[in-house]
Amino acid sequence: MTGPLTLADLTGTDNALAPHYSRFRVAERLLLTGHSHQAWPDVAREAQLAAYDAAAELVDDKWDRAFEQADRVRAGFRALLGDADADIALGSNTHELVVRFLSALDLRARPRLVTTDGEFHTVRRQLTRLVEAGLEVVRVPADPVGTLAERLAETVDGRTAAVLVSSVLFETARIVPGLAQVAEACRDRDAQLLVDAYHQLGVVPCDLAADGLGDAWVVGGGYKYLQLGEGSCFLRLPAHAQELRPVLTGWYAEFGALATPADPDRVAYAGGGDRFAGSTYDSTSHYRAARVLDFFAEQGLTPRLLRAVSQHQRGVLTAAFDELAVADGLITRDRETPPEAFAGFVSLTSPRAAELQAALAARGVRTDSRGEHLRLGPAPYLTDDQLVDAVAILGEVLAA
């Protein structure tokens, strides 16, 4: 069928979206990797071929067409952020964008960064290395999540250059409430706030103004819930970003000023998001991303619908898991937190999470693990029966 789809089309024993993912064979496999690498719709392959055809036809003149794709990707991220006028810098991954952001800070005058102990390795590893180089990094415990924003806000002082925090924690899927408090504390002390929204976009609706994050930098990408594949990440710049001069950028960051005679002793910057741009890149990712974003629009896969599907599927998974009646000493889940406080996956806690992941993979159930967290990530193209079957196999693994 053609869109727009409804919740009824994407739940139950049949799934109207699944036929659009024939090459990933989503109807035949138990792919609980929706929080990490969702399947790509078939149109993504067509877009990749279009990128090849453009290069073959236009050779080095392909870039005008490539930049058109990039503009479509920026527009897609603006819509997902609820910020129609946002300046967007694009990058191949979030690490390069975070590094560009850090390079714009005056870390000599304000050598203190604040973060949490629940951040993904992109931030964790880079900040640990900066500690080795002499910076001060304060890691606020992520638990209890309900007070995390308040505790982060209390930690910001006059020596703080920036706070780096996720809107959804990557190990537990917990949504971090009250980040507007952190934004206000940063604003009051002239510090920057960088929010990692990677585990939010495509599964939890976002409206930066309504969330009190109009002054925040936001980083994320399409590798996970948005089905864009590799190479399509973004950095949303607040208005005051135009005052900053990032150290680590590429020659694309000077595009708007290349025609103007340059001061050989001072680097020039383009305006808008290009101020934080890199340089020559593989444009195939943007062809694919632009087409998949169009596909989502054609099918009616709005953030609101995707949230409803996600909450339904998480409910199916948790109910099936609870029916296993497994001893908590082996594996358990958070039953104290209300369902609406979670984002897009179910996190099960076990000291043998990695072993369970490997055993599930051997039986055809794709999941992943992070430390003691076994993560089960549904996706909108899966049926309820597939989710129940996957948990049943988990029960067999546990019994073994």
| β-bridge mates for residue 33, sequence order | 377
Between CA 68 and CA 53 the distance in angstroms is 15
Buried b (16+ CB within 10 A) or exposed e, 116-154: bebbbebbbebbeebeeeebebbbbebeebeebbebbbe
- Cα–Cα distances (Å) from 248 to 60, 102, 137, 273, 284, in that order, read 26, 9, 21, 14, 24
Angle, helices 63-81 vs 284-299, to 10°: value is 40
Question: Burial, 371: exposed, middle or buried (Cβ in 10 Å; 0-12, 13-18, 19+)?
Answer: exposed
Check residue 261 and give its pLDDT.
57
Check residue 214 and give its pLDDT.
97
Does residue 110 lie in a domain region? yes
pTM, to two decimals? 0.96
**Rg of the chain over all Cα atoms, to the nearest angstrom:** 22
Residue 82 DSSP label: T
Q: Answer yes or no: do 185 and 278 share one domain.
A: yes
Does residue 38 lie in a domain region? no
Token pair listed for 59 = 């050779």
Check residue 260 and give its pLDDT.
65
Q: Answer yes or no: do 288 and 311 share one domain.
A: no
Q: Answer yes or no: do 226 and 365 share one domain.
A: no
Check residue 2 and give its pLDDT.
60
At residue 314, what are phi and psi to the nearest 5 degrees?
-60, -35
Domain boundary among the residues 241, 271, 294 is at: 294
pLDDT in tens, 305-337: 999 999 999 999 999 999 998 877 899 999 999
CB distance 3 to 306 below 8 Å: no
The CATH number of residue 273's host domain is 3.40.640.10
Domain boundary among the residues 274, 294, 314 is at: 294
Check residue 129 and give its pLDDT.
96
Q: Answer yes or no: do 231 and 289 share one domain.
A: yes
CA dihedral 38, 41, 43, 46 (to 10 degrees): 60
What does the chain come to in residues?
A: 400
pLDDT in tens, 266-276: 898 988 999 99
pLDDT (mean) for 279-288: 96
pLDDT in tens, 203-253: 999 999 999 999 999 999 999 999 999 999 999 999 999 999 999 999 899
Three-state DSSP string of 20-64: HHHHHCCCCCEECECCCCCCCCHHHHHHHHHHHHHHHHHHHHHHH
Q: Answer yes or no: do 225 and 90 share one domain.
A: yes
Domain boundary among the residues 294, 316, 351 is at: 294
Does residue 273 lie in a domain region? yes
Does residue 43 lie in a domain region? no
Residue 83 DSSP label: -
Q: Answer yes or no: do 22 and 151 share one domain.
A: no
Buried b (16+ CB within 10 A) or exposed e, 198-235: bbbbbbbbbebeebbbebbbbbbbbbbbbbbbbbbbbb
**How many domains does the structure of the chain reveal?**
2
pLDDT over 50 at 1, yes or no? no
Token pair listed for 382 = 């899966």
Token pair listed for 143 = 């638990």
| β-bridge mates for residue 196, sequence order | 166, 219
Does residue 2 lie in a domain region? no
Does residue 41 lie in a domain region? no
Token pair 């340059």: residue: 262
Q: Answer yes or no: do 328 and 375 share one domain.
A: yes
Q: Answer yes or no: do 100 and 17 share one domain.
A: no
Token pair listed for 233 = 């990440």
Q: Answer yes or no: do 104 and 150 share one domain.
A: yes
Does residue 224 lie in a domain region? yes
Does residue 149 lie in a domain region? yes
Residue 256 DSSP label: G
Between CA 351 and CA 118 the distance in angstroms is 18
Token pair listed for 326 = 């497994």
Q: Answer yes or no: do 158 and 281 share one domain.
A: yes
Q: Answer yes or no: do 234 and 336 share one domain.
A: no
Handedness of CA 239, 243, 246, 249 (dihedral sign): positive
Q: Answer yes or no: do 220 and 91 share one domain.
A: yes
Token pair 């409206």: residue: 207
Residue 190 DSSP label: T
Strand extents, DSSP E, the chain = 30-31, 87-91, 112-116, 136-140, 160-166, 192-196, 217-221, 233-237, 332-333, 346-349, 365-366, 368-370, 373-376
| β-bridge mates for residue 166, sequence order | 196
Q: Show the domain range for 308.
A: 7-31+302-399
The CATH number of residue 355's host domain is 3.90.1150.10
The rounded percent of the chain whose pLDDT value lies above 70 is: 97
Token pair 């073994």: residue: 400
